[in-house]
């Protein structure tokens, strides 16, 4: 994913709407626009954002008659992991270690338990 994984606020809102769908479900621009109605966005704004997300490869875009349907190409967890990897890769080895320690120091007990399970699964 690389630098594409950084998203603007509207891109994040559209992704949230798409992630709220059932797995493998496709959505039209109209459906996403309706789910974001409280933001007062123009239909064309949502259409532009969804097209941009397709170009960045965050969503799949499929032609459906004269319109397009969309679905997430990446899970929320996958995107979060990619952002973490990108951030850490920009640091030197010492800084990476310090950043990870700082993250763990501020983690909740549930987060610590999840990390321990994940590390155990890798071992």
Q: How far apart, in whole angstroms, are the C-alpha atoms of residue 120 and residue 123?
A: 5
| 67-107 tens-digit pLDDT | 899 999 988 888 888 888 888 888 888 888 888 888 889 98
Is pTM beyond 0.85? Reply is no
Q: 40: alpha, beta or left, given left = phi > 0 and alpha = psi -120 to 50?
A: left
β-partners of residue 69 are 28, 62
Half-sphere exposure of 107 (CA within 13 A, CB side): 15
Tell how strand 59-64 and strand 27-28 pair up.
unpaired
| 22-74 tens-digit pLDDT | 878 999 999 999 999 999 999 999 999 999 999 999 999 999 999 899 999 98
């Amino acid at each position: 994913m690389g630098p594409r994984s950084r998203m603007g606020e509207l891109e994040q809102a559209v992704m949230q709407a798409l992630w709220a769908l059932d797995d493998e479900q496709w959505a039209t621009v109209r459906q996403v626009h309706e789910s974001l109605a409280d933001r007062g966005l123009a239909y064309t704004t949502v259409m532009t954002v969804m097209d941009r997300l397709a170009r960045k490869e965050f969503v799949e875009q499929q032609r459906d008659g004269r319109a397009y349907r969309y679905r997430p190409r990446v899970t929320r967890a996958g995107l979060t992991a990619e952002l973490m990897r990108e951030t850490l890769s920009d640091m030197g080895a010492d800084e990476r270690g310090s950043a990870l320690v700082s993250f763990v120091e501020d983690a909740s007990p549930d987060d610590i338990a999840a990390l321990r399970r994940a590390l155990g699964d890798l071992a």
